Amino acid sequence: MSPSLIAPVVEEENKKYQRGVKHLCDKGLTKVPTKYIWPEQDRPIFTKPDKLIKPKQNLKLPIIDFAELLGPNRPQVLRTITEACETYGFFQVVNHGMEGDVSRNMIEVCKRFFELPYEERSKYMTSDMSAPVRYGTSFNQSKDNVFCWRDFLKLFAHPLPDYLPYWPSSPSDFRSLAATYAKETKELFEMMVKAILESLEIDGNEDEAAKELEEGSQLVVVNCYPPCPEPELTLGMPPHSDYGFLTLLLQDDVEGLQILYRDEWVTVDPIPGSFVVNVGDHLEIFSNGRYKSVLHRVLVNSIKPRISVASLHSFPLTSVVKPSPHLIDERNPPQYMETDFATFLQYVSSREPKWKNFLESRKIHRIR
């Protein structure tokens, strides 16, 4: 069948699963429905007739001590950031100054949101990618051929006063706790940007992009991964890179995040109270490919529910993203085309976002 004939069939079938995995699990489930079963080569553990390839040991990401970054050891910490962004596209931040209560309260109130009756949660379900609040399931629930074991709540968060009135009013303390979290994460992002620009030897005080980032966009994505009866058949999130400049990810104490490192999927060891920070597509473009947005995915498990909160930060929605003029010269020509959010949003809503195909579409291929 041609894609144009398949699409309506998929869309019709997807309607059956729109209520998400939390809803499925609440009904009691001993098997994963076919819709969630990934092709064998994409599953977390490959079981071949004669061998079982065990998952690799967990990965200890480079750790950035934020207090050190602000002290006399800054140059050394900046070098660690550079290395981490070039090698892994990821690092973990500890001692970041956000009170433990702020992050714990955020995880806890999000847990309570996902425990609300489906009717309450579904008030925020929409296919409009630019809605201030969007509740949903999988990745792109109208287009995905195979579904992910994940429900989500996405909140636009900057400028906060524009969006806050649309955020869920239940649980009653959701808005205040999530707003505190969003504001403090934004502050942390701004300090991270200063460090990242400095590590690229760009003067943040003079750079136009640095100013734009201060007034940039922030999208808080809350991910809920309920326990799954057959976790080896599915994924919480498929391999993807994040589209923004930087993502600050808060996880609870349950592991699940994997990154692609030297062509192998490795699990990131959660450090309670820390942030996992990763390079997004926009930073890859901005750094003209020096820092890489690395593919990552999420595994689920059969025992513990998992909550994570990803805060995606980037330029304002109206900006054009391009390689920094400070990093471009005759010997270093631009490697990426200019791109904007509108193009991106159109791209992700029109197909299954998989791998890094959006970024690939922005690359300039030169014949040398």
Among 144, 242, 252, 281, binds Ni ion (CB under 5 A): 242
Segment interacting with ligand OGA (CB under 6 A) among 2-10, 43-51, 202-210, 250-258: 250-258
Toward Ni ion, which CB reaches closer, 311 or 335?
311
Task: By CB under 6 A, tell whether 89 contacts ligand OGA.
Answer: no
**Nearest to residue 38, comparing CAs of 290, 300, 243?**
300
Of 247 and 339, which has the nearer Cβ to ligand OGA? 247
Is there a contact between 153 and 133 (Cβ–Cβ < 8 Å)?
yes
- Is residue 148 close enough to count as binding ligand OGA by CB under 6 A? no
Question: Smallest distance from the beta carbon of 89 to ligand OGA, in angstroms?
Answer: 12
Q: Is 251 in the site for ligand OGA (CB under 6 A)?
A: yes
Binding partner of residue 308 among Ni ion, ligand OGA, none, CB cut-off 5 to 8 Å per kind: ligand OGA
Options 92, 138, 141, 223; binder of ligand OGA; rule CB under 6 A? 223
Cβ-contact 157, 189 below 8 angstroms? no
226 binds ligand OGA (CB under 6 A): no
Dihedral-angle region of residue 116 (phi above 0 means left; psi in -120 to 50 means alpha; beta otherwise)? beta
Token representation of residue 227: 């326990």
Q: CA 253 to CA 271: how far, in whole Å? A: 7
- Partner from Ni ion, ligand OGA, none binding residue 182, C-beta < 5-8 Å depending on class: none
Binds ligand OGA (CB under 6 A): choice among 310, 313, 314, 353: 310
Query: How many residues at the interface with ligand OGA, by CB under 6 A?
Result: 12
**Residue located via tokens 């070039």:** 86
Binding residues with Ni ion: total (CB under 5 A): 1
Report if residue 249 touches ligand OGA, rule: CB under 6 A: yes
Q: Of ligand OGA, Ni ion, none, which one does residue 221 interact with (CB within 5 to 8 Å by kind)?
A: ligand OGA
Residue 207 contact, options ligand OGA, Ni ion, none, Cβ 5-8 Å cut-off depending on partner type: none
Instruction: Name the minimum Å distance from CB 296 to Ni ion.
Output: 6
- CB 107, min distance to Ni ion, A: 17
Return the closest-CA partner of residue 264 out of 32, 46, 31. Answer: 46
CA dihedral 19, 20, 26, 30 (to 10 degrees): 120
What is the smallest separation between the CB atom of 223 and Ni ion, expressed in angstroms? 9
Q: Which of 296, 322, 356, 362 binds ligand OGA (CB under 6 A)?
A: 296
Residues 6 or more apart in contact with residue 186 via CB below 8 angstroms: 157, 158, 218, 311, 313
CA nearest to 366, candidates 339, 324, 332: 332
d(CA 195, CA 202): 10
277 vs 321, beta carbon nearer ligand OGA: 277
Half-sphere CA count of 125, side-chain side, radius 13 A? 17
Of 41-49, 192-200, 249-257, 343-351, which part binds ligand OGA (CB under 6 A)? 249-257
Q: Which of 277, 297, 218, 250 is nearest to 109 (CA)?
A: 250
256 binds ligand OGA (CB under 6 A): yes
Residue 276 CB, nearest approach to Ni ion (Å): 10
Specify whether the CB–CB gap between 327 and 200 falls below 8 A.
Answer: yes
Residue among 113, 183, 106 nearest 153 (CA): 113
Select the binding partner of residue 61 from Ni ion, ligand OGA, none (C-beta < 5 to 8 A, by kind): none
Q: What is the largest CA-CA distance in the chain?
A: 63
CA angle 75, 281, 292 (to 5 degrees): 50
Residues 252, 225: contact at Cβ < 8 Å? no
Q: Is 237 in the site for ligand OGA (CB under 6 A)?
A: yes
Shortest CB 342 distance to Ni ion, Å: 21
Out of 155, 224, 248, 257, point to the residue binding ligand OGA (CB under 6 A): 257
| Residues of this chain that bind Ni ion (CB under 5 A) | 242
Judged by the rule CB under 6 A, the positions of this chain that interact with ligand OGA are 221, 223, 237, 242, 249, 251, 256-257, 296, 298, 308, 310
